[in-house]
Amino acid sequence: MEYRHVPVMLDEVIEYLKPSEGEYFIDCTLGGAGYTKSIAKLLGKEGRILSFDLDPWAIENAKRILKEEKLENVIIENINFKNIYETAEKNFKKNNKKEFDKGIFSGIVFDLGLSNAQLEDTKRGFSFKEDTPLDMALEGDNGRTLDLINNYSREELETYLREYGEEKFYKRIVGGIFDARKTGSIETTKQLVDIIEAAVPAFYKRQKIHFATKTFQALRIATNEELESLKIALPDSLRLLKKGGRIAVISYHSLEDRIVKKIFKSESIDCHCPSSFPVCQCGHKASIKIINKKILLPTEEEVARNPKSRSAKMRVAEKI
């Protein structure tokens, strides 16, 4: 099956990153190749875009699309974006030895959301619409989701649901999981949905958002260590940008956005010493300036056209 991703806030990404012929770019979340395809067309034959994704299905899907578009200036890697620096170094340093350490990339984009195709794939554990094996690993079954559900402590699971899912009934849901453990292993999405359904109050099941959404989100984030990877990838991305290069990050929930905001703010100021220090001791110097002081949001027209974009928030920074 081929899936063509509708890129969220694509016009804004192009407007702020301004891809031009001969430049180097990175797409950290390839997905359905939406950003990569649009940027690659603007880079010309001499430009290059390095695009990667942890999901093997996304990689193969993107390859088919890019082949059809006859785009030969795209380098694709099947890796986690936390490996951005080493991957860029492997592909670009050989031909840019002197410039690489100072930064050679004109633009980097992150879209931190899952594609509709991933969420709706009934063979995977992201969706609770069908009864499937409980596997939320982007790279395929590695057993981590089952390990989380069946072996982690009550405190650990409560922390994940509270922090990663922002689930207010986290104690009741985890209590249901522990009761279910007494009778056997939890193996499928339906088993988990049934546990959640029995644990939450009736009014919660009548809301617009499905009552299992936040728990599934929390487990997916924990399984793939998404927030930890983002904390590694963002600082390394800033190292790769050349002076005047820009980074755009599109997030979909508060935890991701909080990380982006914190790192951008930290890297946009000089001294990090406590205010009580009369003289700077850390020697830190700002490496970026924040382009949009207010979060960029999708237009009403885009939300109407693509409901997935309704929770998107974009932040942009420029290397100085």
Give me the CATH number covering residue 272: 3.40.50.150
Residues 281, 208, single domain; the answer is no
Residue at a domain's end among 195, 224, 253: 224
CATH code of the domain containing 128: 1.10.150.170
- Cα gap 150→195, rounded to integer Å: 13
* pLDDT at site 281: 87
Residues 14, 111, single domain; the answer is yes
Cα three-residue angle 218-224-227, rounded to 5 degrees = 70
* pLDDT at site 128: 78
- Cα gap 316→171, rounded to integer Å: 37
- Cα gap 165→220, rounded to integer Å: 9
For residues 292 and 315, the answer to whether their CB atoms sit within 8 Å is yes
pTM recorded for the entire structure: 0.90
Q: What is the mean pLDDT of each run of 10 residues along the chain (320 residues)?
A: 72 98 96 94 97 91 93 96 97 94 97 70 69 86 88 97 96 98 95 97 93 94 94 97 98 94 96 87 93 94 91 97
Residues 203, 262, single domain; the answer is no
Residues 51, 101, single domain; the answer is yes
* pLDDT at site 4: 56
**DSSP symbol at 162:** I
**Total of domains in the chain:** 2
* pLDDT at site 121: 61
Nearest to 54 by CA among 125, 122, 112: 112
* Strand pairing report for 313-319 and 288-290: antiparallel
Range of the domain at 215: 122-224
CB atoms within 10 A of CB 139: 14
| Residue 3 located in a structural domain | no
Residues 84, 230, single domain; the answer is yes
* pLDDT at site 2: 52
Residues 111, 235, single domain; the answer is yes
Burial call 170-206: b when 16+ CB within 10 Å, e when fewer: bebbbbbbeebeeeeebebbebbbbbbeebbeeeeee
Residue at a domain's end among 224, 241, 275: 224
Residues 219, 230, single domain; the answer is no
For residues 145 and 137, the answer to whether their CB atoms sit within 8 Å is yes
